[in-house]
Chain A
Amino acid sequence: MKLEAQKLAYGYPERRVGHDVTLELNAGEVLCLLGPNGSGKTTLFKTFLGLLPRQGGQVLLDGSELDILQRDEIARRVSYVPQAHGAFFPYSVREVVLMGRTAHLGLFAAPSARDHAAALDAMRRMGIADLADATYTRISGGERQLVLIARALAQEARMMVMDEPTANLDFGNQVRVLERIRALVADGIGVLLSTHDPDHAFLCADRVAMLHDGGLLACGEPEAVMTPAQLQRLYGVEVVVTEVAVGQGRRRVCLPLGVSP
């Protein structure tokens, strides 16, 4: 199972945001995308998923062109977690999660008992089962984020693309979500996520891709690519990467020193 972009150009006809991005996401790994504000992470993700038209290159899902696949075929294999957002109508959390089942439903069908069970299971896995009857528009931003991840889980796709899944979460929930993502990967799911926090990449990523100036700066294992020099190029901030002892092992963390001169 593999989702790959080859020399992908993305953006809009009048304004190209990035080009020549070659990436692949495999089942059973976390690929973490780092990039400063405005580097086009969300646009790249949407183009990668075929939600925005490509400006060049191609996207392959298990070797077949994304364009020849129906939306529901894609949705059964790749799910998308957008940034937490408002909703227009006050659906219950259960209904929002059930919408993740849509790709498994016939065109004229409504969710069955089996779909309800899958939605409940997804909510349990995200620890939000007690929110099932709450109204989506009335819960906190962090809770909404968990609901959207549960919705993607209910979709039962082998690949998940998450746009800043930790952006609205408090410290505890950030760690919980990252651990949850590691557990998904242990189940064989491939996760592509973007984040603004390099430490999250150290915490959960198998590979890291750095997006800078409309192209890939680097892509590889966190220890190899997340060097102080690269992070400084990426964010324009002086950075120290150091190791701290955690129990038996050691873990890398990233400390900002200040804006580079």
Chain B
Amino acid sequence: MSRNSVTPYPLTLAVAAIALLAALVAAFAAGRYPVPLDDLLRIVWSWAGGAPHGRDATLETVVLQIRGPRVIAALLVGAALAAAGAAYQNLFRNPLVSPDILGVSAGAAVGAILGIFLSLGVVAVQSMAFAGGLAAVGMVYLVARAVRGHDPLLVLVLAGVVLGALLGACVALMKYLADPYNQLPAITFWLLGSLASTDARDMWVAAPLLLVGLIPLWLLRWRINVLSLDDEEARALGVSAGRIRLVVIVAATLMTSAAVAISGVIGWIGLVIPHFARLLTGPDFSRLLPVSVLLGATFLVAVDTLARTMANIEVPLGVLTAFVGTPLFLWQLATARRGWR
């Protein structure tokens, strides 16, 4: 299939942006306490400094206090996971790589569960998740540096997989030892991923970290393209491959850890969304990154809305992303003619 069949980039970008907007409106409007579109717009307008909305104060609480932080969290987490996934896939030259590959999610999970196990507060649990994610990647990186004489990328990925398995065993041990009435449900809930307990304060901590990680990815977008070649080839083209690779890994890990810290473990987005975006834009990272960010945000905002509205109880987010993501991925695998082949 020739390249001409790819959707024009501005159109892709516009459609993705409109989809995100639609998902956001639906997320604010839908729920146990439906908010009519007209009221929603007036409340947001007044919040932005416009005329007073003159609507019920309950409505304002629902929109601004309850749904607001949660929707924004879904938006940022979805965007961050998709962006990190796109970066990792280019960096490791493998479309099946996801943000979990270097043990980030496993490390964050161990940190958070240790926090729950020690009966720490919410903020402490999140900090420990964040620290755990960074520590896991740090260890993977040190192992990869210590093992010389092999393909460094392969060693890095292998070390991540092996360390991830070890951390998984730690998670299992703590679940086994945890108090089955208080701690175990909290641990399980966290491992399944959820945005239910997000409040505005979490967002003020996590949002900057999520956004800070995006900046180097965008600035280095062309270098990241070149890094998807062999290291030797990239260096022959004038790229200090090792240094740029490190910066990109740190940025993507920062975003993933911050995302896991507020939402728990949400799989699939970092794998499926960049893959899907690549089908629409081709592999050029300067197009792939914005579209991945928009689609990731749209996907998680929509799935989180589903999670809290489709049944009487909340459906765990991690479960739902897998249920929605798997068929999507398989369908795309079966029909796609380009993207990575």
Contact = CB atoms under 8 A, between A and B. Distances in A.
Interface of A: 12, 14, 46, 49-52, 70-76, 79-80, 82, 85, 87-92, 95, 99-100, 102-103, 105, 107-111, 133-135, 137, 151, 155
B79 to A, nearest CB: 21
21 contacts: A46-B232, A52-B232, A71-B235, A71-B241, A72-B240, A82-B232, A87-B228, A89-B278, A90-B338, A99-B229, A100-B237, A102-B223, A102-B238, A102-B239, A103-B238, A107-B219, A108-B219, A133-B3, A134-B3, A151-B237, A155-B238
B340 interface: yes
Given A74-B238, A135-B338, 11 more contacts: A12-B149, A49-B236, A82-B232, A87-B229, A89-B95, A89-B278, A92-B282, A102-B239, A105-B222, A109-B222, A133-B2
B237 A103 contact: yes
A99 B225 contact: yes
A138 to B, nearest CB: 8
A75 B238 contact: yes
Nearest to A137: B341
A238 B193 CA distance: 72
B237 A89 contact: no
Contacts of B219: 107-108
Contact of A89 (B149, B238, B340): B340
Given A82-B233, A109-B222, A88 B238 contact: no
- Main secondary structure on B side of the interface with A: loop
B228 to A, nearest CB: 6
Contact of A88 (B94, B223, B237, B284): B94
A79 to B, nearest CB: 7
Given A102-B222, A102-B223, A110-B221, A90 B235 contact: no
Give the bracket for the number of chain B residues in contact with chain A.
35 or more
B35 interface: no
Nearest to A105: B222
A207 B241 CA distance: 34
B148 to A, nearest CB: 9
Interface string B215-256: 000011111011011101101111111000000000000000
Nearest to B222: A110
B241 to A, nearest CB: 8
B4 interface: yes
Nearest to B284: A95
Interface in B106-124: none
Contacts of A134: 2-3
Which 7 residue pairs spanning A and B have beta carbons closest together?
A103-B238, A75-B238, A89-B283, A72-B238, A80-B236, A88-B93, A108-B219
A2 to B, nearest CB: 19
Contacts of A12: 149
Interface-central residue, A87, A89, A134, by most chain B CB under 10 Å? A89
A89 B228 contact: yes
Contacts of A72: 238-240
Interface string B304-341: 00000000000000000000000000000000001111
